[in-house]
């Protein structure tokens, strides 16, 4: 269920256009499929959070693809990261596991130490999953973890020390920020695999920990990529970063998109944050450069920019005119699939 009015509006005004365009592709994706690893989960991790003492994190993660084996990629933040051990299990509630935990190894070892911003991928893990499963990934770490901008992963926890194998742990401290876990690949029949690129609208920001809403938190289930994934029943992973614009998104492709294997489609909704500081021609040129980099990797599907609130900018009339001009370019001149 969509629990936030803004999510409902975004669902009706934007995501449905993708469903119409992509639905036939999604349901035609099973022709002579090979068994491959493709992303079943991804979250852009642009900020950094650190722990100076060993801490166990247990993050509840949705899976948008079924298969027999997993690979989990972890990403360090702005300093070195030591992962001592990790497990994966089906998620229960309040940090409790719904299945026995399975160890995650890295080149045969239970852990690793990585440099700043380094991404480390596990060995394949024999752990069958179905579309829509939610997993608890538990990891015992110290150091700097790459992290998301918002608290969008409810029913996730942290413990001082702790144990990655505890099936019924004592109450942990809520920790709803995605951290360290960058991508979960699932080995199964090859299919459409989409990544959504954008800003807070796509990452799923609504109200978490801001202003009068400090007691409320965002939820990945309410983001439009998660809604699209549930309806299309193919992975629509999240490569969006709250606050970024076209030029930042382009600069981050190498670390946030091109690290993933087996992508087929890129869904792009970006440019709203550029409206106050760039001309329409500059935004168009930035989008064109972004599409040029994406084109060898995926089919490109682009959404027109949504209206921006009136109190956003000094010269709101200019913002409106720029948005109209950029949307006209997207509709009539952008070299994309739809």
Question: Which structure tokens are listed for 123?
Answer: 């060995």
Q: How far is CA 138 from CA 74, 101, 157, 287, in A?
A: 12, 9, 9, 38
Give SS3 for 38.
strand
Q: Which two tokens stand for residue 338?
A: 């739809």
Q: What is the pLDDT of residues 21-45, one digit of tens each?
A: 555 555 444 445 799 999 999 999 9
What is residue 218's predicted lDDT score, i.e. its pLDDT? 79
Question: For residue range 163-189, what is the model confidence (pLDDT) as tens digits?
Answer: 999 999 999 999 999 999 999 999 999
Instruction: Compute the distance between CA of residue 268 and CA of residue 27 in angstroms, rounded to an integer.
Output: 21
- For residue 77, which of 48, 97, 98 has the smallest C-alpha distance? 48
Alpha helices, DSSP H only, in 243-337?
246-251, 253-256, 280-294, 316-332
Higher pLDDT, 214 or 302: 302
Q: pLDDT by residue (tens digit) across 68-102? A: 999 999 999 999 999 999 999 999 999 999 999 99
Global confidence as pTM = 0.91
Sign of CA dihedral 5, 8, 12, 15: positive
Query: Residue 212 has what pLDDT?
Result: 45
Q: Look at residue 3 in the predicted model and tell me its pLDDT.
A: 47
Of 27, 56, 49, the residue nearest 150 (C-alpha): 49
C-alpha 336, offset from chain centre: 22
Structure confidence at residue 213 (pLDDT) = 45
Dist CA 338 CA 336 (whole Å): 6
Residue 266 has pLDDT above 90, yes or no: yes
At 101, is the secondary structure helix, strand, or coil? Answer: coil
For range 273-277, the mean pLDDT: 91
- Report the alpha-carbon distance of residue 190 to residue 71 in Å, rounded: 15
Dihedral sign of CA atoms 61, 184, 118, 84 in order:
positive
How high does pLDDT run on average in the chain?
90
Angle between the 280-294 and 316-332 helix axes, to the nearest 10 degrees? Answer: 40
In sequence order, the β-bridge partners of residue 280 are none
Q: What is residue 216's predicted lDDT score, i.e. its pLDDT? A: 58
Q: What's the pLDDT tens digit per position in 279-318?
A: 999 999 999 999 999 999 999 999 999 987 766 776 888 9
Buried b (16+ CB within 10 A) or exposed e, 124-138: ebebebebebbbbbb
């Amino acid at each position: 269920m969509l629990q936030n009015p803004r999510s409902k509006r975004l669902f009706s005004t934007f995501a449905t256009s993708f469903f119409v365009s992509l639905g036939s592709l999604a349901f035609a994706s099973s022709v002579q499929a090979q068994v491959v690893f493709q992303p079943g989960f991804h979250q852009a991790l642009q900020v950094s959070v650190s722990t100076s003492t060993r801490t166990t994190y247990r993050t509840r993660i949705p899976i948008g693809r079924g298969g027999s084996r997993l690979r989990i990629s972890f990403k360090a933040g702005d300093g070195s990261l030591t992962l001592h051990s990790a497990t994966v299990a089906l998620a229960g509630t309040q940090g409790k596991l719904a299945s026995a935990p399975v160890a995650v190894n890295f080149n045969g070892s239970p852990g690793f130490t990585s440099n700043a911003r380094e991404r480390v991928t596990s060995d394949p893990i024999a752990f069958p999953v179905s579309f829509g499963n939610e997993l608890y990934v538990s990891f015992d770490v110290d150091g700097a973890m790459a992290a998301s901008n918002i608290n969008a992963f409810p029913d996730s926890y942290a413990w001082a020390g702790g144990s990655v194998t505890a099936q019924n742990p004592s109450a942990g401290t809520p920790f709803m920020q995605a951290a360290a876990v960058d991508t979960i690949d699932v080995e199964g029949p090859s299919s459409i695999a989409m990544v959504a690129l954008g800003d807070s609208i796509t990452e799923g920001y609504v109200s978490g920990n801001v202003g009068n809403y400090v007691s409320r938190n965002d939820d990945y289930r309410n983001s439009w990529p998660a809604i699209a994934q549930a309806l299309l029943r193919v992975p629509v992973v999240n490569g969006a970063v709250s606050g970024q614009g076209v030029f930042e998104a382009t600069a981050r492709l190498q670390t946030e998109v091109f690290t993933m294997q087996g992508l087929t489609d890129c869904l792009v909704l970006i440019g709203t944050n550029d409206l106050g500081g760039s001309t329409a021609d500059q935004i168009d040129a930035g989008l064109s450069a972004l599409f040029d980099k994406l084109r060898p990797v995926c089919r490109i599907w682009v959404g027109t920019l949504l209206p921006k609130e009136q109190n956003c900018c000094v010269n709101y009339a200019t913002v409106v005119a720029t948005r109209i001009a950029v949307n006209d370019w997207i509709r009539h001149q952008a070299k994309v699939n739809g």
